[in-house]
Amino acid sequence: MWTWFYKLASPPYVYGVAAALMPWLLGTAALAMVYGLIAGLAFAPPDYQQGDAFRMIYVHVPAAIMSLSVYMVMATASAVALIWRIKVGHAVAAASAPIGASFALLALVTGSLWGRPMWGTYWAWDPRLTSELILLFIYVGVMSLRSAFEDHARGDRAAALLAVVGVVNVPIVHFSVVWWNSLHQGATIVKLGAPSMPGSMLWPLLSMWLGFMLFYGAVLCTRVQAEVLNRERQAAWVREAIKS
Amino acid sequence: MKVGAWRAFVLIVYRELCLSFRRPEHLFQPLVFFLIVTTLFPLGLSLQLSQLRDIAPGVLWVAALLSSLLSLDSLFKSDADDGTLEQLALSGQGLTLIVVAKTCAHWLLTGLALVVVSPIVAIALGIPTAAFATMMMSLALGTLTLSWLGAIGAGLTIGLRRGNVLLSLIVLPLATPLLIFGAAATERAISGTSAVGALYFLAALCVFTCTLAPFAATAALRITLE
């Protein structure tokens, strides 16, 4: 029953799976995002307070959620790689870091563009904004630490440890709006009870979220393939894989 | 001869203190840096003393963080360069014990020294004497937490040539909660309101890092030493 799980530790198997999954993930991501964008930008009603400016939500919120989710994926893969010495874990973590950093940057940029018409400023030193920025810095730290070592294996493990240590920031970002008095609005979707949003606004958002997740999966597959190839460049199966 | 864990701890701390007191310039440089950075702010901003008091907590804490960071680089570096660290690791004592001892000694030499010097800076920045106790308490808790975080960062960057910059890049984001709560506690103390809440938060962070960071720092050393 667990054999599929054990197989995930084998680089050639992961390389094959990633290659097979990639087009499916990319296709479904495109579908979900096309629906989400059309329904969100054209058919969802304008917000009673924010008017049409609220439509920024369809990029901003999924990007912000993904910046945290990708961090958790990276930290989990790092922990797995450190504890059980599974090299594929390092490949997944190394592949995830730039994607997560891009999501964090996207969330910050769209957030500040949204903040200009709504709050009257591009940037406020608000807990949630600040902790998201710190998340970006931690991503940058993990990536630079990995590349600072000449010995790849050592850089991988050092970056993995830092990624695991950096997990303490994730609950801080998530709960910052609850703990501190913040300009940023509180949880709207993921909370106990019904979401405080009508379905015509909510469904496109959920679809965008799904689309972002699938898109992450697709990009991750591509990057993991590259990472695995680079790490296993001495192995015989790589020569076979590249020839075919 | 088998040396007990407590005895080994005391010996390592004693060795660190001895080494530092024989080269006192290493002891004074971070403190002088702390003083210089805090004097730069009033010079650069040319404020009245009353305005200075408003920004004093932030200035004090940023300067404290930067000067502690400056000395973190030396936490393991010289011992790693001459092979002492490897000998310590092979000594039969747990590596965690060695990390704890070295970090404690490092805090005594940098963090505690900073706390002792801080009233001078506080007077210069116009912080009222009534706020000194809270300020020093918050700095003591904050610098201890920072030493633990720094032990992880220093452990990860030992073998690197440009490790110092990378060390700041790694440690500073993790240290931002310290800055927030530390400056908040000092600010409350200056305005005369109760700073207990922020101090409790600092203490909680301190306990959290004291209990978990030694293991993370040990793992970091294992990775970089091999």
- What is the spatial distance between Cα B99 and Cα B103, in angstroms, rounded to a whole number? 6
Q: Which portions of chain B are predicted below pLDDT 70? A: 1
B118 within 8 A of B140, measured Cβ to Cβ: no
Model pLDDT, residue B207? 94
Quickly state the pLDDT bin for A1 (edges 50, 70, 90): low
Give the pLDDT mean for A10-33: 89
B151: contact with A, CB 8 A cutoff: no
Question: Using an 8 Å Cβ cutoff, are A74 and A93 in contact?
Answer: yes
Which chain B residues have a beta carbon less than 8 Å from that of A158?
156, 220, 223-224
Q: Looking at beta carbons, which residues of chain B come within 8 Å of A173?
A: none
Q: Is B87 on the interface with A (CB under 8 A)?
A: no
Residues of A numbered 106-135 whose beta carbons fall under 8 angstroms of chain B's beta carbons: which are they?
A: 130, 134
How many CB atoms within 10 Å of residue B220? 26
Could you count the other beta carbons within 10 Å of the beta carbon of residue A17? Answer: 17
Burial A35-56 (b: 16+ CB within 10 A, else e): bbbebbeeebeeeeeeeeebbb
Which pLDDT value is given to residue A93? 93
First vs last Cα of chain A: how many Å apart? Answer: 31
- More confident site: A8 or A108: A108
Asked if B156's CB is within 8 angstroms of A141's CB, the reply is no
**For residue A180, pLDDT beyond 70:** no
Q: What is the pLDDT of residue A100?
A: 95
| Closest chain B C-alpha to A151 CA, distance in angstroms | 10
Using the Cβ of B163 and the Cβ atoms of chain A, whether some distance falls under 8 Å is answered with yes
Angle at B112 between CA B106 and CA B116, to 5 degrees: 150
Say if residues B157 and B166 touch (Cβ distance below 8 Å): yes
Residue among A134, A157, A164 minimizing CB distance to B173: A134
Integer CA distances (angstroms), A179 to A47, A119, B51, B57, B119, in order: 27, 20, 29, 22, 32
Give the bridge partners for A47, in sequence order: A51
Rounded Cα distance between A1 and A15, Å, is 21
Q: Is the pLDDT of residue A108 over 80?
A: yes
Does A180 touch chain B if contact means CB atoms closer than 8 Å?
A: no
Q: Are B156 and A162 a contacting pair at CB < 8 A? A: yes
Kindly list the residues from chain A whose CB atom is less than 8 angstroms away from the CB atom of residue B226. 154
How big is the A-B interface in CB pairs under 8 Å? 55
Q: Is A158 on the interface with B (CB under 8 A)?
A: yes
Among B144, B166, B115, which Cα is nearest to B210's?
B144
Complex-level ipTM beyond the 0.90 threshold:
no
Q: Taking phi first (over 0 means left), then psi (-120 to 50 degrees means alpha), and beta for anything else, what does residue A86 get?
A: beta
* A213 vs A211: CA distance, rounded Å: 5
- C-beta separation of A70 from A103 below 8 A: yes
Higher-scoring residue by pLDDT: A239, A190: A239
Domain regions of chain B by residue span: 5-225
Lowest mean pLDDT among A40-54, A123-137, A180-194, B45-59: A180-194
For chain B, say whether A168 makes contact (Cβ under 8 Å): yes
Q: Which residues contact B77 (CB under 8 A, 6 or more apart)?
A: B154, B158, B163
Greater pLDDT, B173 or A197: B173
Number of C-alpha atoms within 13 angstroms, CB side, residue A214? 19
Question: Nearest by CB to B220, which of A130, A161, A166?
Answer: A161
CB half-sphere exposure, A65, CA atoms < 13 A: 18
User: Å from B37 to nearest chain A CA?
Assistant: 23
Assess contact for B163 and B97: CB atoms under 8 A: no
Find, among B170, B100, B84, the residue nearest to A165 by Cα. B170
Closest CA to B139 of B46, B65, B59: B65
Of the candidates A77, A112, A119, A79, which has an alpha carbon nearest to the alpha carbon of residue A97?
A77
Closest to A227 in 3D by CA, of A68, A29, A14, A27: A14
Q: Is A138's CB within 8 Å of B173's CB?
A: yes
CA distance B181 to chain A (A): 12
φ/ψ of B73, rounded to 5, equals: -55, -35
A184 phi-psi bin (left φ>0, alpha ψ -120 to 50, beta other): beta
Based on its alpha-carbon atoms, the radius of gyration of chain A, rounded to whole angstroms, reads 20
CA distance B88 to B94: 9
User: pLDDT value at position A214?
Assistant: 94
d(CA B220, CA B163): 14
What's the whole-model pTM score? 0.85
- For position B196, what pLDDT does the model report? 87
- Averaged pLDDT score across all residues of chain A: 83
